[in-house]
């Protein structure tokens, strides 16, 4: 039977029935090691007892009230995020794209409130991904997401990644902000060098621009710090987060300094579902775990272990995997075979990985992954690379 769903995804022919930590289980009881974590969403793995408890307890009390009333769990989550970051205020949404929409609107409103409504343009970087709404596809600048959807939303200027001169040239009297992922996720785990982030901060300060960081994929412990920009010691004015922050419950947030948010007064922006009690209960539960002593150290240790062991896999299969990129538990393998073929072959080894741009596959295990699971994943990656390597040699003969 054909599917009744809009065919916007080429789905793998597998359906999972349940999950346990870093594992997903099909109805037939086949177990897959999940090194995709729902594209960096299931930060605490599947069916984490603390999250299940938080969600079910809240579900029995109250689901939704609208933002016309106070939501104490949201006040609490906002306070905790603010206390843990550069930010003074938080706006909750349901997704990464919505968090970015809030960030974009906030940056424009900041200048409008300062008497410069003509400053609405935002400079973004090639290879970026900021979501699939009309504004965020324009921000991401990828033609394959823009084509066919009518006039591109105005106000986004894109420059090549790492081209400082092009960046400086793109800044003009209408520029409001720069927007960047500290590590490009969909773009292929391309890390922005610390020097470049510092340079962006300096440019923003010099020209009165806001620095927006999209930490939708890199945030909430993924790199071994709460947010990836902490590694560089560079703080944004506005930051979006989503994916891992709800541990699988749809949740996004736009965090900002009070100064950057100066234009966002009552009625200037809104959302029906954003910040509802279910999402806030789960968001707080995720933070309980991620902010606990030693949790980020665990992420770092597992990331280092994974990277180290992968070094040996590359040595054995240099034609299949040529490079490891990334930090903590957001790693990318640059491939010499098509990443779609690698993803399918890994699936045959019962290992889930995620393709990305630049012919990379992403390894994004749940942050609670154990040493034994890291070792298991490395074995399965080694087997995957071995099989693809043998196929390559077969084809060459």
- Which residues on adjacent β-strands are paired with residue 321? 335
152 secondary structure, DSSP code: P
185 versus 389: smaller Cβ distance to ligand PLP = 185
The annotation status of 60 as a binding-site residue, yes or no, is no
**Which listed residue (34, 214, 237, 382) binds ligand PLP by CB under 6 A?**
214
Q: Is 130 in the site for ligand PLP (CB under 6 A)?
A: yes
45 versus 187: smaller Cβ distance to ligand PLP = 187
Shortest Cβ distance from residue 246 to ligand PLP (Å)? Answer: 10
Residue whose pair of structure tokens reads 């995020």 in the numeric block: 81
Residues numbered 66 to 125 that lie near ligand PLP (CB under 6 A) are 95-97, 100
Pairing of strands 31-34, 351-352: parallel
Strands (DSSP E) found in the chain: 16-20, 23-26, 31-34, 89-93, 121-125, 156-159, 175-180, 183-184, 190-191, 210-214, 238-241, 252-256, 321-327, 330-335, 351-352, 354-356, 360-363
CA distances from residue 117 to 106, 157, 202, 205 in whole angstroms, order as listed: 12, 17, 23, 19
Structure tokens of 293?
């002593």
Residues numbered 4 to 63 that lie near ligand PLP (CB under 6 A) are none
Q: H or E element: which one contains 364?
A: none
Shortest Cβ distance from residue 24 to ligand PLP (Å)? Answer: 20
23 versus 125: smaller Cβ distance to ligand PLP = 125
Q: What is the largest CA-CA distance in the chain?
A: 70
Angle at CA of residue 90, ends 84 and 92, nearest 5°: 120
216 versus 352: smaller Cβ distance to ligand PLP = 216
The annotation status of 233 as a binding-site residue, yes or no, is no
Residues numbered 225 to 244 that lie near ligand PLP (CB under 6 A) are 242-243
Residue whose pair of structure tokens reads 């894109």 in the numeric block: 158
58 versus 100: smaller Cβ distance to ligand PLP = 100
The annotation status of 272 as a binding-site residue, yes or no, is yes
**CB-neighbour burial class of residue 94 (10 A; exposed 0-12, middle 13-18, buried 19+):** buried
Candidates 54-62, 199-207, 211-219, 349-357: pick the segment binding ligand PLP (CB under 6 A): 211-219
Give the binding-site size for ligand PLP (rule: CB under 6 A): 15
Shortest Cβ distance from residue 227 to ligand PLP (Å)? Answer: 12
CA distances from residue 234 to 74, 212, 342, 378 in whole angstroms, order as listed: 27, 11, 36, 33
331 versus 385: smaller Cβ distance to ligand PLP = 331
The annotation status of 362 as a binding-site residue, yes or no, is no
The annotation status of 96 as a binding-site residue, yes or no, is yes
Helix H segments across 183-329? 194-207, 277-290, 295-316
Residues numbered 184 to 203 that lie near ligand PLP (CB under 6 A) are 185-186
97 versus 333: smaller Cβ distance to ligand PLP = 97
Q: Report the alpha-carbon distance of residue 210 to residue 179 in Å, rounded.
A: 8
CB-nearest residue to ligand PLP: 96
**Which listed residue (38, 131, 182, 236) binds ligand PLP by CB under 6 A?**
131
Q: Report the binding-site residues for N(2)-acetyl-L-ornithine.
A: 132, 271
Q: Report the binding-site residues for pyridoxal 5'-phosphate.
A: 96-97, 129, 214-217, 272
Q: Report the binding-site residues.
A: 96-97, 129, 132, 214-217, 271-272
List residues near ligand PLP by CB under 6 A.
Answer: 95-97, 100, 129-131, 181, 185-186, 214, 216-217, 242-243
């Amino acid at each position: 039977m054909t599917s009744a769903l809009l065919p916007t995804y080429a789905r793998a022919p597998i359906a999972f029935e349940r999950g346990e930590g870093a594992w997903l289980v099909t109805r037939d009881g086949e177990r897959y090691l999940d090194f995709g974590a729902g594209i960096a969403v299931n930060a605490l793995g599947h069916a984490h007892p603390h999250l299940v408890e938080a969600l079910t307890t809240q579900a029995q009390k109250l689901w939704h009230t609208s933002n016309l009333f106070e939501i104490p769990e949201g006040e609490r989550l906002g306070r905790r995020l603010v206390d843990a970051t550069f930010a003074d205020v938080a706006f909750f949404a349901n997704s990464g794209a919505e968090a970015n929409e809030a960030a974009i609107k906030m940056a424009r409103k900041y200048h409008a409130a300062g008497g410069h409504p003509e400053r609405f343009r935002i400079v973004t970087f090639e290879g970026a991904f900021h979501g699939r709404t009309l504004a965020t596809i324009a921000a991401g600048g990828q033609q394959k997401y823009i084509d066919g959807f009518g006039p591109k939303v105005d106000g986004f200027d894109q420059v090549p990644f790492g081209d400082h001169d092009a960046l400086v040239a793109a800044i003009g009297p209408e520029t409001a902000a720069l927007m960047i992922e500290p590590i490009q996720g969909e773009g292929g785990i391309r890390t922005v060098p610390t020097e470049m982030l510092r340079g962006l901060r300096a440019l923003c300060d010099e020209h009165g621009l806001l620095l927006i960081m999209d930490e939708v994929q890199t945030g909430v412990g993924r790199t071994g710090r709460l947010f990836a920009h902490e590694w560089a010691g560079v703080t944004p004015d506005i930051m979006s987060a989503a994916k891992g922050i709800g541990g699988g419950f749809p949740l996004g947030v736009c965090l900002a300094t009070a100064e950057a948010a100066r234009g966002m007064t009552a009625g200037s922006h809104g959302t029906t579902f954003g910040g509802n009690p279910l999402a806030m209960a789960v968001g707080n539960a995720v933070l309980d775990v991620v902010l606990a002593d030693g949790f980020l150290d665990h992420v770092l240790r597992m990331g280092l272990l994974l990277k180290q062991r992968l070094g040996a896999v590359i040595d054995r299969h240099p034609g299949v995997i040529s490079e490891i990129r990334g930090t903590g538990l957001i790693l990318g393998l640059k491939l010499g075979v098509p990443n779609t073929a690698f993803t399918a072959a890994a699936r045959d080894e019962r290992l889930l990985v995620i393709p990305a741009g630049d012919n990379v596959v992403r390894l994004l295990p749940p942050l609670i992954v154990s040493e034994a699971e890291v070792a298991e994943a490395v074995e399965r990656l080694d087997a995957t690379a071995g099989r693809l390597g043998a196929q390559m040699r077969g084809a060459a003969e």
